[in-house]
């Protein structure tokens, strides 16, 4: 059934002009008693949607009604999951279509948790409320942190129970993305399509995301390069903010360069390169310190899928692709190093900066110093004498070296600290606060803690009084995240 009210939807469905190999037309399952519990009015306005009318038509966000112009599909893709290659696809998500925003941008509107599809692999296609709240919270906090990310428009409860290890309230998340084209989409085309299918997908991706390379001498090599550049910039930002994705499978690598899929993700508290939160990452494959190298591994899998397009003779394409991977590794290091300089108020470049930065991180790891709050304290020049790191003589020595380095540059000390404020968040969505907010919503239908957390995370660089209590460090106890499927 099509909704007849005009809420500002302006859909196109260009993905469906690809070969049928890439998707299956489906209908989202209807929810028994839908209720919007979270709605992103700011994002709705950016999309050109009328919030007042949309909230009255809540069944759109449960999948019961379809917006005018939508043509729902489930996308097909594959992926290396913990290095094992498998066929995947949207097993619990439905792409309603592509909204054309007032600015002319094209974004996917997807319902996550809207029932079975042909790619469900025996699953029920449903989602539990807790993980959908989690994705809403973290994705919007990432947006506030200025890290490229998919966005969350709404969370809608379904009035039904979803059975996992126990019955939980069901929900649907409305996700907004530049696109849902993944490295795994190209792997799928290479494995189950022919060369023409792969080229059609590549041409579509270039037209949608990187039209400036369409007339390059080798646009497919340029696509590999562009994607590697985006991933290098993205993963460097993760490292600079202490974000751990938790499941960096190739099906979770968006060609657009956005962070996608907030399953077992979390933010690091005490600095430790080996930090892992995911319950399923028992070997630490996706630990914080491994993320840049895993990014290179994922780009290598993308390159393998593209070799036949880069050169008709794959053996001749191989050295070109390897050069891109090497460039990625250099770029992620350069992006990270530039970001660390900014976090320390350094505006120019000197070779010894690497030693200065690494020495601080080593001291932080040695003393289990909180990642975010260490840089917050340096930014505010408030070095709490109760913090072990700040009590050490080794830190005193480092601090003096840092001050000497700041004195060598053109920026004044005041300007350097202002620079630090722009790159060091006052707060992050602390894991324990996220869990407390989700528990309140799940157990007591109290969404106020979520709204409070969203409000202070909207501008994490503001350093307001309201943010101070959210910056307090959590109890030092083990924390584990789960993928939510």
Residue numbers annotated as active site: 251
DSSP letters of 293-339? HHHHHHHHHHHHHHHHHH-SSHHHHHHHHHHHHHHHHHHHHHHHHHH
Length in residues, the chain: 485
CA dist list (Å): 395 to 27, 108, 370, 378, 402: 59, 48, 15, 12, 10
Residue among 8, 15, 18, 77 nearest 46 (CA) = 8
110 sits in the region (left: phi over 0; alpha: psi -120 to 50; else beta) called: beta
Residue among 373, 478, 369, 474 nearest 432 (CA) = 474
CB-based contact 118:321 (threshold 8 Å): no
Torsion sign over Cα 130, 244, 302, 82: negative
CA-CA distance, 410 to 287, in Å (whole number)? Answer: 37
Residue 85: CB atoms within 10 A of its CB come to 14
CA-CA distance, 261 to 149, in Å (whole number)? Answer: 9
CA angle 325, 185, 109 (to 5 degrees): 115
CA-CA distance, 236 to 161, in Å (whole number)? Answer: 39
């Amino acid at each position: 059934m099509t909704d007849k009210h005009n809420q500002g939807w302006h859909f196109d469905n260009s993905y469906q002009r690809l070969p049928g190999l890439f998707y299956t037309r489906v209908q989202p399952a209807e929810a028994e008693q839908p209720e919007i519990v979270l709605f992103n009015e700011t994002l709705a306005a950016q999309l050109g949607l009328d919030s007042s009318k949309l909230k009255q038509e809540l069944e759109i966000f449960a999948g019961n009604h379809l917006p005018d112009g939508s043509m729902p599909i489930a996308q097909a893709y594959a992926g290396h999951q913990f290095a094992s290659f498998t066929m995947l696809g949207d097993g619990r998500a439905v792409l309603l279509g592509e909204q054309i925003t007032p600015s002319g941008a094209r974004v996917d509107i997807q319902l996550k948790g809207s029932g079975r599809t042909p790619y469900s692999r025996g699953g029920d296609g449903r989602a539990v409320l807790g993980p959908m709240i989690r994705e809403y919270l973290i994705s919007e906090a990432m947006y506030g942190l200025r890290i490229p990310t998919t966005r969350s428009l709404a969370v809608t409860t379904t009035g039904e129970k979803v059975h996992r290890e126990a019955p939980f309230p069901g929900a649907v998340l409305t996700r907004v993305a530049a696109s849902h084209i993944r490295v795994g989409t190209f792997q799928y085309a290479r494995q189950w399509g022919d060369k023409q299918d792969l080229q059609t997908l590549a041409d579509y991706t270039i037209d949608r995301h990187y039209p400036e390379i369409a007339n390059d001498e080798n646009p497919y090599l340029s696509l590999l390069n562009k994607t590697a550049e985006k991933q290098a910039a993205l993963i460097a930002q993760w490292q600079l903010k202490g974000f751990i994705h938790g499941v960096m499978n190739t099906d979770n690598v968006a060609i657009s360069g956005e962070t996608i899929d907030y399953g077992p993700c979390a933010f690091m508290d005490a600095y430790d390169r080996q930090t892992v939160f995911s319950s399923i990452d028992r070997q630490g494959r996706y630990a914080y310190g491994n993320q840049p190298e895993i990014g290179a591994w994922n780009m290598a899998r993308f390159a393998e899928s593209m070799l036949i397009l880069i050169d008709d003779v794959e053996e001749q394409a191989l050295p070109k692709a390897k050069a891109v991977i090497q460039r990625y590794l250099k770029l992620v290091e350069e992006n990270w190093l530039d970001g660390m300089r900014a976090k320390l108020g350094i505006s120019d470049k000197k070779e010894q900066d690497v030693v200065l930065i690494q020495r601080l991180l080593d001291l932080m790891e040695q003393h289990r110093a909180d990642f975010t709050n260490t840089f917050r304290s340096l930014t505010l020049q408030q070095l709490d004498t109760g913090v072990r790191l700040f009590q050490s003589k080794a830190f005193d020595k480092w601090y003096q070296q840092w001050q000497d380095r700041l004195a060598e540059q053109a920026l004044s000390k005041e300007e350097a600290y202002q620079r630090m404020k722009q790159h060091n968040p006052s707060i992050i969505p602390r894991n324990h606060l996220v869990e407390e907010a989700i528990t309140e919503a799940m157990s007591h239908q109290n969404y106020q803690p979520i709204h409070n957390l969203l409000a202070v995370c909207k501008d994490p660089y503001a350093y307001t009084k309201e943010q101070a209590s959210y910056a307090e460090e959590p109890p030092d106890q083990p924390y584990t995240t789960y993928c939510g499927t």
